[in-house]
Structure 1
Amino acid sequence: MKLILAIISNDDSTALIRGLNKESYQVTKLATTGGFLRAGNTTLLIGCEAEKVQRAIEIIEKYSSQREELVPNTAGYDMGAFSTYPVKVTVGGATVFVLDVEQFLKL
């Protein structure tokens, strides 16, 4: 048994969850916040058998597209100064962790 933790953009979460559910993956959705852009994202918990992990990763990759966005420059806020010029950053994509599950109970 494996546990997949997938951190994705909020914008990608609905389509990704539908794609996973369509192939019988059960998903738990958590609302989380990223540390770099301080923006909301979604963390998915997906439990599955070891042989289904690669397919789940393929689905995550399909629905988690990277794209560039302009965001406010917050680099100087902590130093008492700020810039009004937006910065182009890459957002989206997915960060995926696959963990071994020692025990799984459904009570």
Structure 2
Amino acid sequence: MKLIFAIIRYDNEDEVVNALTQKRFSITKLSSTGGFLRKGNTTLMIGTEEERVKEAIETIKKECGARQKITINMPYISGSAMMNCATMPMNVEVGGATIFVIDVEDYEKI
């Protein structure tokens, strides 16, 4: 038995969860935050047999592949007065997933 932790962007949650559910994977969702853009993430916990791990990972890859997004990062200005600051749009890569697969020593469904 394996446990897959998949950290995905909140934007991709519905597609990934629907695709995994259609393939009869059991999923627990946790809300999480982090990363460079400080955007919401979803951490999926997926318990599965060892022979289905590759299928789960391929499904996640298909549904949340990396893509480019233009974002504008506002500079941090201390104090209460806002100054005229020029911001530059930047291309950042979004999407994708961070996936951990760990062994499960014991599993019981009650």
Partner of 2:70: 70
Other structure's SS at 1:37 match: coil
Unmatched tracts of structure 2, length 5 or more: none
- Mapped to 1, the partners of 2:100 and 2:35 lie a distance apart of 17
Q: Distance in 2 between matches of 1:40 and 1:67?
A: 17
1:31 partnered with 2:31: yes
% identical aligned pairs: 48
Relative to structure 1, is the Cα distance of residues 102 and 68 closer, same or farther in structure 2, using a 3 angstrom cutoff?
same
SS in 1 for 2:107: coil
Seen in structure 2, the aligned counterparts of structure 1 residues 72 and 102 have a Cα distance that, compared at 3 Å, is same
Alpha-carbon distance, 1:90 to partner: 0.1
Query: In structure 1, the residue corresponding to 2:100 is in which secondary structure?
Result: strand
Please tell me whether the aligned partners of residues 8 and 41 of structure 1 are also in contact (alpha carbons under 8 angstroms).
yes
CA offset at residue 13 of structure 1?
1.0
CA distance in structure 1 between the aligned counterparts of 2:16 and 2:100, rounded to whole angstroms: 16
Larger-gyration structure (1/2): 2
Tell me, in whole angstroms, the C-alpha distance in 2 between the residues paired with 1:73 and 1:21. 36
Q: Which residue of 1 aligns with 2:10?
A: 10
> Which whole-Å CA distance do the structure 2 matches of 1:43 and 1:83 have between them?
35
Aligned length: 105
1:103 aligns with 2:106: yes
Which letter maps to 2:53?
V
Q: Within 5 A, what are the aligned runs for 1:16-95?
A: 16-73=16-73, 77=76, 80=78, 84-95=87-98
Root mean square deviation of aligned Cα: 1.8
Amino acid at match of 2:2: K
Query: AA paired with 2:29?
Result: K
User: Shift in Å at residue 83 of structure 1?
Assistant: 5.4
Amino acid at match of 1:53: V
Structure 1 unmatched ranges of 5 or more: none
1:33-75 CA-to-partner distances (Å, cap 9, x unmatched) read 123211111111000010110111110111012111122225x
Once the two structures are TM-superposed, the CA of residue 106 in structure 1 deviates from its matched residue by 2.1
C-alpha displacement of 1:85:
1.6
